Every structure is written in C-alpha cells, then in structure tokens.
Structure 1
C-alpha cells in the first residue's frame, strides 16, 4: 500500500489497466481452452497408443456436452466471480464440478442408448487430460494474475472517504483481513479537514478533500471510493455521492453494521430489491434434518456404548455423598428459550447453585471428590445425551449457559455484544470453542467474546464433517485439557 501527499502531482499510468472483474472472463476462457486442448491431446494420445476406429463426430459432440454441463454448473454457482487472487480454490471445487458434469454427460449418453458406440479408452484419456489441465492451469493462472496485479495492469486503487481516524483504521483492518491482492489502498480523504487526524493510517496518507480526490480520479490514479460514515445523515450522503458521480470511478458505501458489529454479511435480493442480510437462518431444510438424524443416531449409539461408564458413575456418586444422582439446571436453549439440562451431580447437595451465578473455580470446595474426576473428564456432561434424544440439544453446538451466569460484574448476555446469535441453533454437549481452548471457567470479557466468536463461526460454517471433527477433537482434548475443574 502506498500513499499520495496532497501537494504531489500524480502521474498518469501509460499502460492499459483492468479492474479485477476481468479475471472472471479470463477464467472462463482459460477453462474453455482446457477442454479444447484436452480433447486435441486426447485424440493424439489415443491415435498413438491405441489407434482403434472411433466416431469422431459422436465423440466431439460428447466433449461439447460435457463442457456445456461444466460451465452451467460453474456459472450457476457464480464460481468465476469468487477469485480475487487469495488462493481459495486451487482446484477442489473445480474438480468436483467437472466430475459432476462428466457423470451427467455419461448418464445422458446412456439414456440415449449411445454408450456402446463410445470408445472407453478415448473417453478416459479426455477426462484425465481435462482434469489435469483444469488443475494445473489454475496454478499458472493464479501466478499470472498475481504478477499482473503487482505490475499494476489489474487492480483497484481505493480511497476511504468521509471517515474519522477510528473508522478509517477499522476499514483498513477489515480489508487487510480479506487479503485481496487486487486492492491498493491509496489513502483516506475528508472535506472536514479541521476534524480529521491526518496522521498516516497503515502507511496510507491523508490525501485531502473532494477536490484532491477528483484530481486523482481525473489523472487515472483512482478506481474506487469507499464511503465509510456510520452516522452519516441522508442529506450529506446524497451530497457526497452527487459530487463523486462527476468522476469515472466506482463509488461504494460500507454499511454501519459492518463497521461497528461484524463483517460477515451477504447481499441478497427480495425480488429485484437489494437487501443486506445481517443474520441467516442456519441449518435449514435438509441440513436441519441431517443434523437431527446425526444427533439422535449418535446419541443413541453413545448411550449403548457408554452405559457401563454411566452406571459406574451413578454408583460412585450414590456411595460418596447423599442426594440425587442427577443435577438439573435451567439454561438458555434454542431461540433463547429455557431448557432443563441434565448433569451428573458433582457437588454437595447443600452447596449447589442452580442459578449458575457462582462460577466453579479451581479447587472449589463445593465439588466432591468424585465430582472432581467426572468434571475433569467431562463425564458429568454425559447425561445430556438425554437432552439430545429429547430434541432439546445437539451433540455439537454452542454450550448452553445458565440463565444467571456472569462474566465480570455483568450477565453473560449483557457483557458480550451479539451474544444472542449463538442461540439460533440448539446448544451442544461440546462445541468448537471448547476444542479451541475455551473449555471451563470464562473469567474475563475477552475470553467470553472469543467463545461467542467461535460459536458464531460454527453456526455459519456448519457441516456434518465439522461435527465429526469436533467430536473427535473433544475426545483427544479430554486427556490433555487442564481448564476444566
């Protein structure tokens, strides 16, 4: 990132420049060439190695159909718009799309009764060559794209406009996290010079007000302006946009929610109306069914396999101290509704806190000897398999908190902004936060915020495989974790 001082005269670029949007078109051309070259190489290799007769017209048609299926799948997923040089897709998504397209093509050929006329050898060579070219061309394509971005032929030169120093710093931090090589953050601007701290931010300079901004655009040194004003009035916003419309640049508005709350938003449409989706309903439709089946199936299996351990634990609790075997506590569940959570009793009956207001601390005198062991190994949580079978909890999800649980001098739901978002799914016996070192006592606001961040990440990135991974990591962590007591 580099800056321009207000008194510097920008130099016009002599070469032709493109925005990063050109990569979408180049990506489509790249894949089309992969199919063309792959088919030509397949014919050559087949003629040299096998040499049997084949119907060239039929096989050419099959290759075209496969390519069309592939592009329809890629374009329907908007796969060509995602690449900005970050390196997210070296080939995994592409390979899967190709295999789906090849399967659809094979089914089509079979349905029309033409499979017997196809050369298996030529078909396999074509599939193999196309897969290889699609994979390796993406590596080369990414390297070339990065080189073009570094040379300045492709990219977006950006200025943050209308923001104070704190907001400007926040925008720069968000853009740094995205790791977008096509962005070049030139600097920040504002017409309220007397109210703006002109000290460089992230090495980007204060370039001045609207006049300086317009000069940069007119001299070909600016491509995009991001308006970042969380408390801007509609009148001032209209004025800023009207002034910037005089320059041939992209003008974007960064919403207040992204600057002050969180950065994971999606632009959706209701009909033709654009809307900013702040929260998405998670695990909907088939995902919800899959999650419920997985939870109850594994919970039932867990009850069967762990029944000897459950019986021994119940017996140990009964022998050591008087009172019930189970402890029930009101906690927040799905949609922020209260549920009654089952646990093995780990404290003396007369010292229990059903509200959860008093946190359990290391060496807590309320905990029994058996309780220390079962809490250390999380055996006390196993009765929550009943909650899973009853449909109140999941095996994996945000841990349910007691209704009166505090962190510092505040209730948990008051201390952490966005806390309620973790209740959009059923709570879990274990969760992502627990296997990332946030198991046990949460005694600071920072740790509480971190736990909520992991919970929200889990909700937004859920998959059956992620659940399995967390369950396996939980088993491993039970041996090494020292944060539970």
Structure 2
C-alpha cells in the first residue's frame, strides 16, 4: 500500500515550485483558452461553410456574456477544486455547466427580443466547438498536471508527525483512498526512537526538531499532525513553533482516524462538525418518496383487488379465524407499528410476538398459507400500511419486536441494528432481492441483511426504488428462500 505514496528526495530550496492551489488558477486559464480558441475556430468555419453576414461585435459580446455566465456557475459550484490530478472530471460537469450558461444566455437574448439579430449557425458552431474544447482540454490538462507533479513543479511535500505504526498506517490508508497525486509523503517523524523501523517504505525523518529543520530549509510544504492522545498545551507548542516556518500545518482529528470513511464534514455557521449520520430522505426527496409510495400503492390496490378478494375468500374457507394477521413490528424511528398480513397460519398456532421463526415445512402454516407465503401474496395487505403512512413500498423490512437470531434478540445480535429504522420500513427491500429473504437463522446472515439495509438508506434514490421493485417481481418466481 505504501508503495503508491512515493517518497521524494529533498530538492534545492531555490527550485521554483507551486502548491496544488495553483491548479485552480490554471483550470480557469484553461477554460478561457478553450473559449478563445472555440470562438476563433467558429469565425473561420462559419465563413468557410455558411458565409452569411453577421454582426461581429454583437456576436462576440454574446459569446463573452455566455462565458461569464459559465464562470459564475462554475465558481459558485466550486467546480475547479477537482483539479487535483485524480482524473475524475473529464469534462462532464464542465459541459453541463456550459449548457446551463448557454440556456441562460439564450433566455436573456430572447427576453430582449434580439434573437433575430443573432445567427443560429454561428451560435451552434460556437457551442459545439466549446464543448469539444472543454472535453479534450481536460484530458490534455490532466496529462500535463501529472507530468508537472512527477517533476516536482506542482505538488506538496508532506511529512507525517504521528505516534506509532498503527496511526501512520491509518493515515496512509486514508490518503490512499482519497487518491491525491499532488501529495508526496517525504517521511514521518516521531519523538520515540523505537518507531524508526516500524514503518516500511516510508523514511524516518527524526523527531520534532528534524521537522523544524526541514521546514526552515524549504524542503517541506505541509505537516499533518496525527497525534490522537496529544495534550492541548503540547499541540499549541507544536503549532506555534512550526508556524515560524512557511509551511501548512494540518491536524488530523482523532475522529477521522476512528470513524468510518463515510462521515462528512459540515459547518454550523463557521464551526466545523463531523456528520456521522444524516437524515437520509428529507425535504423534496421525502415528498417525492411519499408521492411515489402512495400513488403506486393506490394503483396497486385497485389493480390487485380481485386477487385480494380471492385470497381472503380462500383463507376464510380453509380455516377458522380472521382473514388478516396483525403484528407489532419496528417502524420509523424504532416506533411500533401494526403490520398487516393475510393470515397464513392456524389461529391457535400462530405467534404474535414473532419470537418463533417460521421454518421450512412449518406445521403451523396452512395449505393456502404455503401458497401465499411462497408468492408473497400474504404481504399485499401492507399496501394499506403504505397508504396509512406507516410503511413505504421499498425500505428495510419491518421486524417483529421480539424477533430472535439464535439465542439473542435481533437488536442485540447485530451491532448498529437500530440505524436501519431511520427510514420507514418497506414491503420489499434491497436485502430481499439480494437473497436474504425468508428465515434468518444465523448472526452472519442477520448482519448481512442489516448491511444491505444501511447501504440502501445511504444511497437512496427514486431510481433505486424502481429497480428494487422491478427485481422483486422477478425474485418472486425464482426465490427458494421463501416458505
């Protein structure tokens, strides 16, 4: 792992170097050059192909306004921060921003009733050449930046000031995940001599004094302090002493080393905070999901009403007891809800608490019950739970409050179990279409189901819901885990 974060030799302090912050300015200059070349090419090609008269001053003004709109959009979205050499932006977001700028400019021209004075051919040429230039230039730009980074002209020489091998390994792992080629780790420092041979492929620079010497000599651009148990007065001394040299000093919080990689850093005003969990479906997304749920559920009840009536009749004719089975289960925010199902067991044998798992060839299940459980028809009354607002069409399946895995309750057997209740439970879910439907007899399968539930919550989208609903229909035919 450490081999990808290549150490670099010390360079002459007189060598002209730039930090990665210069890439933002180069990115802006790159786009300016793209538009300038696109305009010149448009003038030449237009004259060679169409050749009609056009007001050059008016068209150049329109192009400038369009470019200004583009840069305002791009900068407001912090679009140039991606210029770090990772290669993720090959023009897609830039082209989208340019098309938005073009649409806004066209709308202004239309409102001013000047559309007739502009050549459509000229405009189409300019827009087309600009998009091509934005796309191609980013490929070339990325290659150029990589070369400048390899030569040491652009980049940051970074030293880690950490406590022990475990901390250093964790910092290197986090940096590796981020894919930041502009960083060059020149080594690590630790005041404890026993760590000299702890880390392979990463030079030991010495203690704090060695860091200070490197900074003063101009051989260091940034120090990352990763000292989880450091005292405040020691941290203040390190920061004050290193600040005398012209380098960047960063503190890697303990939380960044201990928490999972999915946390976010947000701001409450100007106060930075670690967001470990965040309400997943909120605001417009929440409204959209509610509309989808209730709209599709209402249509489904109408279309499936003959099947619902036939199932109710079959249950009534086979055995005595109510048609519907009601069970208390965990709902949104761990609140109890009453979940509806078609009754599939004999009344005197069913378990309302959910403590007893349903097994294959369970004698408690009726003949009609086996059919409706196998085809999931027994779950259809939950459409009324959706209409009532207790459930969603798609989400983590609601579990009975006393449901067990092995000799433990579900919520005790699986760590982080309650996090799956941050959204409404669903009639179907991601875990169900991934083969985790039916009996969950082992803790490993229970944990895997919860992992799928958490993944769904953190990656929710309307398209994901539609995909799960479609896959559920196919799974009903081939799933062997339902009984």
Residues 133 and 256 of structure 1: CA distance in aligned 2, closer, same or farther (over 3 Å): same
Q: Which deviations, in whole Å up to 9, do the C-alpha atoms of 1:59-85 show, x marking residues without a partner?
A: 111111111112222222212213434
Match of 1:332 in 2: 330
Is 1:33 paired with 2:60?
no
Partner of 2:257: 259
Change (3 A) 1:229 1:444: farther
Q: 1:118-144: per-residue Cα shift (whole Å, max 9, x none)? A: 111111111111122222222332333
1:12 aligns with 2:11: yes
Q: Which deviates more from structure 2 when the two are superposed, residues 353-362 or residues 74-83?
A: 353-362
TM value normalised by structure 2:
0.86
What is the Cα deviation at residue 337 of structure 1? 1.7
The gaps in structure 2 that reach 5 residues or longer are none
Q: Secondary structure at the match of 1:340?
A: strand
Aligned partners of 2:8 and 2:184 also within 8 Å: no
Hey, what's the Cα distance between the residues in 1 that align with 2:138 and 2:73? 18
Does residue 47 of structure 1 match 2:59?
no
Q: 1:99-118 alignment to 2 at 5 Å?
A: 99-118=99-118
User: When the two structures are aligned, how many residues end up with a matched partner?
Assistant: 481
Name the CA shift for 1:9/1:437 in 2 (closer, same or farther; >3 Å): closer
Q: Contact 2:8 / 2:186 at 8 angstroms: preserved in 1?
A: no
Structure 1 residue matching 2:52: 3-state secondary structure: coil
Most deviating of 315-324 and 126-135: 315-324
In 2, the alpha carbon distance for the partners of 1:323 and 1:66 equals: 72
CA displacement 1:407-456 (0-9 Å, x = unmatched): 45544444444443333322222333434444444455555454444434
- Separation of aligned partners in 1, 2:466 and 2:130: 34
C-alpha distance in structure 2 between counterparts of 1:150 and 1:442, whole Å: 53
Q: Closer, same or farther in 2 for the Cα pair 1:262/1:131, shift >3 Å? A: same
Say if 2:420 and 2:457, in contact at 8 Å, map to a contact too. yes
Matched, 1:250 2:244: no
Q: Determine the structure 2 residue equivalent to 1:58.
A: 58
Structure 1 position 48, deviation (Å): 0.7
Residues 18/347 of structure 1: CA separation in 2 closer, same or farther (3 Å cut): farther
Q: CA separation of 1:159/1:66 partners in 2, compared to 1, >3 Å: closer, same or farther?
A: same
Displacement after TM superposition at 1:112 (Å): 0.7
Give, in whole Å, the separation in 2 of the partners of 1:441 and 1:189: 53
Deviates more, 1:414-423 or 1:103-112: 414-423
- Cα distance in 2 between the residues matched to 1:286 and 1:9: 49
Q: Which runs of 5+ in 1 are unaligned?
A: none
- Provide the residue aligned with 1:270 in structure 2: 268
What secondary structure is seen at the aligned counterpart in 2 of 1:54?
Answer: coil
- CA-atom RMSD, angstroms? 3.3
What do residues 306-334 of structure 1 show as CA deviations (whole Å, max 9, x unaligned)?
33443444344444544333322222222
Shift of 1:221: 5.1
> Aligned pair in 2 of structure 1 residues 302, 271: CA closer, same or farther (>3 Å)?
same
**Quick one: distance in 1 between partners of 2:249 and 2:31?**
32
Aligned to 1:200: 199
**Within 5 A, what are the aligned runs for 1:354-369?**
354-362=352-360, 364-369=362-367
Moved more, 95-104 or 8-17: 8-17
**Separation in 2, partners of 1:249, 1:448:** 50
Match of 1:120 in 2: 120
Residue aligned with 2:80, SS: coil
Q: Contact (CA 8 Å) 2:9, 2:186: kept in 1 or not?
A: no
Deviation of 1:47 (Å): 0.8
Shifted more, 340-349 versus 31-40: the winner is 340-349
